[in-house]
Structure 1
Amino acid sequence: MNVRTRAMHAVAERLGRRGFELRRHPATRRQHVLTRHGVDLVLDVGAADGGYGTSLRSFGYRGDIVSFEPQARAFDRLRRTIAADPGWTARHLALGAEPGELTMNIASNSTSSSVLPMLDTHVAAAPSVRYVGTESVTVGRLDDEVAEALAGHRRPFLKIDTQGFEREVLDGGPATLAACVGVQLELSLVPLYGGGMLIDEAVGRMYEEGFQMVGLEQGYAAPTGEILQIDGVFVRPGTEV
């Protein structure tokens, strides 16, 4: 064991005694998946202020990104985030099963905002997070909104993080989903939003669409330590480059 390895073991041991774990960042594994499947376009649905796209860039993804964010304040932050990145575009839009207008519930922490009602399980897990207002948002269908982008790319990857509204996004994008080599999907282990899709339905749907799960990333955890949401990374077998 060399000096560097011994030092890493020592750090890991000290962290372990304090309840922490030293491990490879999940974004590193995700980037390996994107590279292996030759992803040249990421469709970022529920982009918030651009944290997901920024992570992609930080870990080596250089392809195009198209982000969708319906909240006005979050979209303003997203627009500033992407200002210097010519390969990253953003649209002020929600995505659902049908085009139209919907009322979004705005949460005190912004990232928990949803078209769907927040359930008591969410409130119990995060008492400081509440809905504090509403905002009318424009809704489009994924297939309608990304057709032009798909025409210029061969190997798209779809990420959806919409606080319980994932089913509706997928319902509006069957052609897009069929074109994708991979998907990252937020998976709820317990009901957090009224009518939201739970993990069993979501994983089953991905497998029915021809994808297999290849990775998990921890998402939202309660102060009690219980994990409430995770992200599943799925790929279509046989699409490696």
Structure 2
Amino acid sequence: MTDQTFANRARETAKLALRRTLQRADLQIGRGSYASHLARTLRSRDVDTVLDVGANVGQFATLLRSAGYQGRIIGFEPLSGAFAVLSGRAAKDEHWTVHHQAVGAEAGTTSINVAANSYSSSLRAMTEAHRTAAPGSDYVATEPVTVTTLAAVVEEHGLDPARTMVKIDTQGFEDEVLRGAGDLVGRFAALQLELSFVELYAGQRLHDELVRDLGSAGYRIHQLEPGFSDQQGRLLQVDGLFVLTSHDL
């Protein structure tokens, strides 16, 4: 056995032992994180601004920064508690600004349902399927929120849609956020949406419908990241990254 063969076997044995340990903890590793793949995609498409719609406490932006993305991040979070944490984190980054707002189809005011775990909060009603799959996520309060639109955000900040990615994590409200973009859908360089296979929020558009709509607007799926599953192991959600097919020509 050569030294290189021995080293290769030792490395594979160590990786297998690590995977077994992670499996017992119901965790997994892969070849490169989703955030790393996303950061490479943004660099390849000259994206200099990311709109983080449904920023919660800044999880997405923090991961994107750790993956090497250095461009502008503009976050939107309607919940007062989450926004307090988000604004504290963003204050340490001169290229990360945040707004205490929801994003939807029309500007105005409304009420948001506040979930016990914060990140399951939504402008839509939660279904029993969600409550069963994620115990402890039920609504515990409501809060008044102001709503803006993607079209207004682009105009206000003077953004170039061709160099902008929009990440939408709004718990079943994704279609309303896209409606508020108007004809900018089809012009943004990339879109990331939370896609559900079952109705977790009343009236939401599901995976197949949103994929079809975005395909008609000129987008294709570029990356998928599994979300959460129910107790029977059924995958309920994924995050889907969409890019313009025109960039591939």
Bigger mean CA offset, 59-68 vs 127-136 = 127-136
Q: What residue ranges of structure 2 are gaps of 5+ in the alignment? A: none
Change (3 A) 1:143 1:227: same
Q: Matches of 2:159 and 2:165 in 1, distance apart?
A: 14
So what's the TM-score if we normalise by structure 2? 0.90
Whichever residue aligns with residue 83 of structure 1, its letter is A
Deviation at 1:27, TM superposition (A): 1.3
Contact residue 186 and residue 219 of structure 2 kept, 8 A: no
Percent of aligned positions with the same letter in both sequences?
A: 41
Aligned position for 1:36: 44
Q: Matches of 1:11 and 1:90 in 2, distance apart?
A: 43
Q: Matches of 2:93 and 2:129 in 1, distance apart?
A: 39
Whichever residue aligns with residue 43 of structure 1, its letter is L
Match of 1:88 among 70, 73, 96: 96
1:182-230 deviations in Å (ceiling 9; x for gaps) = 1111100111000111001110111111011011011122243222110
SS of the residue aligned with 1:115? coil
Aligned position for 2:30: 23
Whichever residue aligns with residue 127 of structure 1, its letter is P
Deviation at 1:179, TM superposition (A): 2.9
1:35-94 deviations in Å (ceiling 9; x for gaps) = 111110001100001110111100000010111111111111110011111111111111
Paired residues, what number? 241
Aligned position for 2:115: 107
Q: Matches of 1:22 and 1:220 in 2, distance apart?
A: 16
So what's the TM-score if we normalise by structure 1? 0.93
1:91-135 deviations in Å (ceiling 9; x for gaps) = 111111111111111000000000111100001101222111110
Change (3 A) 1:10 1:131: same
Contact residue 12 and residue 22 of structure 1 kept, 8 A: no
Structure 2 residue 183 is the aligned partner of structure 1 residue 180 = no
Q: Which has the higher contact order (CA 8 A, sep 6+)?
A: 1
Deviation at 1:153, TM superposition (A): 7.2
SS of the residue aligned with 2:50? strand
- Higher-Rg member (1/2): 2
Whichever residue aligns with residue 65 of structure 2, its letter is R
Whichever residue aligns with residue 23 of structure 1, its letter is G
Contact residue 100 and residue 139 of structure 1 kept, 8 A: yes
RMSD of aligned residue pairs (Cα, Å): 2.0
Q: Matches of 1:44 and 1:62 in 2, distance apart?
A: 14
